[in-house]
Structure 1
């Protein structure tokens, strides 16, 4: 019995895209595009974000395919980085140059590779550890361009998406993932559990998207308000917080990317526990393949 690499890679890619769309559909999300509005973004729409997510399937599938059964290495790091840049190009072609999921390509690309390195057998802890190993290898082919994220990292001394990945996604493992599991355990709806996971990220993450738009004052405001919402368990407050974020031009895009990554890892967690109910995302589905 062997795993069909093509089927495996397609399945992992479908899970990644599904996680992006689940994050998008979650409503209400303060300052972010959702089913209610476009948040603090004048250049985005729900449909554009959906199309962008779908455009990344090939990139995630290719990353999974070339990573299958390999060990983290400099060469693998640079191979998946090249595929990630192709994914960015596909995204920009669909969005006419608007950056919709660049951060998600980074985080989900690394996690996709790590899942495939472990041929679907790694635990969530092993996946993030492997992703961290990959992220710590330098990408020697990366174009040296100044981005909004790099400017914020230099100006404010925060980790950003790169540092988060290199450290093994601590905000997922210590904050959003435990919050998601805990919220489910107390019997609230799946939507509210996911909103709790998002709020926990906003409350703790030095979100470079928020810093870019509004500086430290906006970041402090967002953290305090997200923590207050969590403390009250009053989800109606999210609609007021959404309006406040929009008026202040606050968009917790980094938190949204990590929520999508949390939902992605959660699928692996459920599969390993034997609780996954979506047959089309059965990562461990094995088939007889000709050698």
Structure 2
């Protein structure tokens, strides 16, 4: 039996808890509850919906979350997040979730700033939320009793069933995409000759890693590959997906270093394959074309060169920042900002044409690697050497690409060059990362 007095007392207690959390941490809070009519706000449907949105909020704000407190009461399950993030931005993100997520209209997400001020949609010029059933304002339908609780509950259940269908497809897509991505990463390190890169036959220009180090590192990335693919298969906008996968990438870097005893085998790969996987999954969710993956990547990374803003005022520069300052080289940031056009416009064709002619995946990988070396401002080479060495590598790769464009590879010659690069500590790691991404994209091309 519903007890109005108990309900009101619990609401007062929740407000007290909210205020105590604000006073303790001096940060904004986000309060998540089910938007579910009727007396039983603790049945399976509202509880499950709140858990789904709670997971989304956790993935979006991740390390900015200071504390999460759960309240179980007659009000239904409630989560209170204290978040070290501007309150106005938290509210904007909350509105995006409410408006875009499949279950967004089935929850209420309230945001209060560090003073306890409750943000509203009107603060941002936004409209009040619409009714779940009709196009009228929800508060109007609520006041007039336009729809019965049962009608609204049925619509919420339909939305939850729709969400479960999406999750089933998401699981299938992410399994396929992440498995193909892992295979592509392993294939890349398995190619030979590899011009100073690690391969099954040589450490190349490296003393601190070998083929087995790369295998350990590759398989350590497995959970990350699945997670970023799932994050991409979503109705959420690209900027929120990017926010989620950037944190996933940081966690994956830690897992990589654990697997390799602090050897950096795949840091660049984590960035590139993560963005590619997420946007390939987003393209599938939106039922877009294969080429649209490039457009989505470009959209996601449109502001990525802002990393170089105010660079001249910084005292401690990263390697990439020094290259930008000294040579104007933007590295992998510039490549993703252009939507990996070097892969979509050229590298995939090089790989596919070779595979069609020779039916030899190793030869196709070597040819594609040579092409990428001829075109790329490879910051991995610049990390050990200078712009003159990079230009010599590019020139030599151009000559090789032209020499073997219509003839079989001269493996003896390529091994001579490989030995030379290994002795001179030249390692085209940037080209290697793009090769793996090329292999991955080619492997899923026929799924669009």
TM-score computed with the length of structure 2 as normaliser: 0.57
Q: Which residue of 2 aligns with 1:282?
A: none
Matched, 1:227 2:398: yes
Alignment of 1:140-151 (within 5 A): 146-151=317-322
How far is 1:146 from its partner?
4.4
Aligned equivalents of 1:135 and 1:173: distance in 2?
16
Structure 1 residue 140, shift from structure 2 partner? 10
Note if 1:256 corresponds to 2:427: no
Higher relative contact order (CA 8 A, sep 6+): 1
Indicate the residue corresponding to 2:122 in structure 1: none
Structure 2 residue 215 is the aligned partner of structure 1 residue 39: no
Q: Which residue of 2 aligns with 1:136?
A: 302
1:243 aligns with 2:408: no
The partner residue of 1:93 within 258, 262, 266 is 258
Greater Cα offset, 187-196 or 119-128: 119-128
Match of 2:343 in 1: 172
Query: In the TM superposition, what whole-angstrom CA distance separates every residue of 1:239-268 from its partner, at most 9, and x where no partner exists?
Result: 011111112211100000000000010011
The aligned runs of 1:279-290 (5 Å cut-off) are: none
Distance (whole Å) between structure 2 residues aligned to residue 138 and residue 195 of structure 1: 30
Question: Any unmatched runs of 5+ in structure 2?
Answer: 1-164, 308-313, 405-409
Residues 81 and 139, structure 1, Cα contact 8 Å, conserved in 2: no
Q: Which residue of 1 aligns with 2:334?
A: 163
CA offsets, 1:160-192, max 9 Å, x none?
111100111122123311211222333352221
Of the candidates 107, 118, 141, which is equivalent to residue 283 of structure 2? Answer: 118
In 2, are the aligned partners of 1:71 and 1:117 still within 8 Å (CA)? no
Question: What does residue 46 of structure 2 align with?
Answer: none
CA-based RMSD of the aligned residues comes to: 2.3
- 1:72 is displaced (CA, Å) by 4.0
Give 1 or 2: higher strand fraction. 2
Contact 1:114 1:127 in 2 (8 A): yes
Q: For the Cα contact (< 8 Å) 1:30–1:245, is it kept in 2?
A: yes
Give, in angstroms, the shift of residue 24 of structure 1.
0.5
Deviation at 1:222, TM superposition (A): 0.8
Distance 1:140 1:87 in 2: 24
Equivalent pair of 1:17/1:54 in contact (CA under 8 Å): yes
Q: Equivalent residue for 1:284? A: none
Rg larger in structure? 2
User: Structure 1's 148 and 269: CA in aligned 2 closer, same or farther, altered over 3 A?
Assistant: same
Match for residue 286 of structure 1? none
- The separation in 1 between residues aligned to 2:240 and 2:295, in whole angstroms, is 18
Residue in structure 1 matching 2:184, options 19, 40, 43: 19
What's the counterpart of residue 162 of structure 2?
A: none
Contact 2:216 2:259 survives alignment (8 Å): yes
Normalised by the length of structure 1, the TM-score is 0.86
Deviations 1:77-116 (A, max 9, x none): 1111011111111111111211111111111100110111
Match of 1:276 in 2: none
The 2-side partners of 1:148 and 1:35 are apart by 29
Contact 1:74 1:138 survives alignment (8 Å):
no
Could you give the per-residue CA deviations for residues 32-73 of structure 1, whole angstroms, max 9, x where no partner exists? 000110111111111111111111111111111122133543
**Count of residues in correspondence between the two structures:** 270
The answer as to whether partners of 1:179 and 1:196 remain within 8 angstroms in 2 is: yes
Q: 1:96 to 1:217 in 2, by over 3 A?
A: same
Q: 2:132 — aligned with what?
A: none
Segments of structure 1 that go 5 or more residues without pairing to the other structure are 273-291
User: For the residues of structure 1 that align with 2:268 and 2:362, how far apart are their CA atoms?
Assistant: 23
Distance between the aligned counterparts of 2:199 and 2:268, measured in 1?
18
Whole-angstrom distance in 2 between the partners of 1:45 and 1:37: 7
Question: Displacement, 1:5?
Answer: 2.0
SS of residue in 2 equivalent to 1:118: helix
Helix, strand or coil: the match of 2:203? coil
The CA deviation at 1:271 is 4.0
Q: State the Cα distance separating 1:6 from its structure 2 match.
A: 2.3
Q: Is the 8 A contact 1:72 1:130 kept in 2?
A: no
Please tell me whether the aligned partners of residues 197 and 429 of structure 2 are also in contact (alpha carbons under 8 angstroms): yes
Q: Secondary structure at the match of 1:33?
A: coil
Farther-moved stretch of structure 1 (83-92 vs 59-68): 59-68
CA contact (8 A) 2:228 2:277 kept: yes
* Cα deviation code 1:195-221 (max 9, x no counterpart): 111100001111011112111111111
Question: What SS class does the counterpart of residue 108 from structure 1 fall into?
Answer: helix
